[in-house]
Amino acid sequence: MFTGIIEATGRVARAEPRGGDLRFSIAAPGLELSDVAVGDSIAVSGCCLTVVAIDDHALAFDVSNETLSLTTLGDLREGDKVNLEKALRLSDRLGGHLVSGHVDGVGTIAAIESDARSQRWDIKAPRELMRYVAAKGSVCVDGVSLTVNAVADEVFEVNLIPHTVAVTTFGDRRVGDRVNLEIDLLARYVERLRSCDHP
């Protein structure tokens, strides 16, 4: 589990084909690695991945074709920036919202507008996910916990404060870029409970 509060950004040092899928090496000089071991989970731009090797300040992850096809990780090239968060410990503050690191779909940045010192982003999401997105609810975009400002048919709006833009990959993002989306866990379970009550 994660909180959607990014601890550091890293860069793809290598994307190496391995037996039909990929091994990513992520340089993470800003991430404290003293408590990270092989087998630990790290959220990489919202995708929960398992550390398979640690070399100095770089982490290696094996990424399956399933993950590559259902997330934006398949778009990554050497030098690209990624958001990083270590798994939540029971003693940690829950500053964002509970995030599983299991990406529900890929959206597209439809608009970026300045609003005083902040930015308002419109994100176009797959129609099947929009039913789970609610105004003033939570959504995870590329691993970042955000509050939804408004919802339309296929688009939701979020507000990014300057700090969020500065400490995540959002500062490098442009209209048309694809982003990983994870809906609120509570919305997912409410839907499941409703479907059990109404077969």
Domains, the chain, ranges and CATH? 8-86 (2.40.30.20), 105-197 (2.40.30.20)
More confident residue, 144 or 189: 144
CA–CA separation, 71 and 47 (whole Å): 8
CA–CA separation, 73 and 60 (whole Å): 14
Q: Give residue 19's pLDDT.
A: 87
More confident residue, 169 or 192: 169
Express each pLDDT in 65-106 by its tens digit.
Answer: 999 999 999 999 999 999 999 998 766 666 667 788 999 999
pTM: 0.91
Express each pLDDT in 122-175 by its tens digit.
Answer: 999 999 999 999 999 999 999 999 999 999 999 999 999 999 999 999 999 999
Express each pLDDT in 21-61 by its tens digit.
Answer: 999 999 999 999 999 999 999 999 999 999 999 998 899 99
* pLDDT surpassing 80 at residue 199: no
DSSP class of 171: G
Q: Which residues contact 155 (CB under 8 A, 6 or more apart)?
A: 110, 122, 123, 124, 125
* pLDDT surpassing 90 at residue 12: yes
CA–CA separation, 53 and 60 (whole Å): 5
CB atoms within 10 A of CB 57: 15
CA–CA separation, 181 and 123 (whole Å): 10
Q: Give residue 160's pLDDT.
A: 97
* pLDDT surpassing 70 at residue 192: no
Bridge partners of 158, per DSSP, are 121, 148
CA–CA separation, 22 and 64 (whole Å): 7
DSSP class of 56: T
CA–CA separation, 130 and 110 (whole Å): 15
Q: Give residue 126's pLDDT.
A: 96
Q: Give residue 96's pLDDT.
A: 66
